[in-house]
């Protein structure tokens, strides 16, 4: 199976900042993003976007390797859905 290399937030680092700031809302305020964005970024399930990485590195006194990890994972295979303009439904 094909693999991809990606960047994820380290769960140990997330635990540290949650302990320091207390709540996800507090962390989001410090980062200058909405709570849902902070939640998505810090969950560890989504890839760390350039915006996430930049915000973390410019907001917290942390080095890249302390907050992020680069991993190789199996590529997720997704199927594209084709929608019909006339009906607004997925084509068979």
The string of DSSP letters for 16-58 reads HHHHHH-SHHHHHHHHTS-HHHHHHHHSSSS---HHHHHHHHH
Give the pLDDT confidence of 41-75 residue by residue, as tens digits: 999 888 999 999 999 999 999 999 999 999 988 87
pLDDT, average across residues 10-26: 94
pLDDT at 37: 95
| Mean pLDDT on 36-41 | 94
Q: Which pLDDT belongs to residue 53?
A: 97
In the structure encoding, which two tokens stand for residue 47, read together?
Answer: 């890839």
Q: Give the pLDDT confidence score for residue 92 in this predicted structure.
A: 55
87 falls in which pLDDT band (50, 70, 90)?
A: low
Domains defined along the chain, listed by start: 3-74 (1.10.260)
Alpha-carbon radius of gyration of the chain: 17
Q: What is the DSSP letter of 73?
A: E
> How long a stretch of residues is the chain?
92
């Amino acid at each position: 199976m094909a693999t991809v290399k990606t960047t994820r937030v380290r769960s140990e680092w997330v635990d540290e900042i949650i302990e320091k700031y207390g709540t996800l809302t507090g962390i989001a305020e410090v980062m200058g993003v909405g709570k849902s964005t902070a939640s998505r970024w810090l969950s560890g399930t989504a890839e760390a976007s350039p915006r996430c990485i930049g915000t973390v590195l410019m907001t917290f006194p942390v080095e890249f390797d302390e907050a992020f990890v680069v991993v190789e994972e199996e590529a997720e295979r997704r199927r594209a859905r084709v929608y019909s303009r006339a009906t607004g439904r997925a084509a068979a």
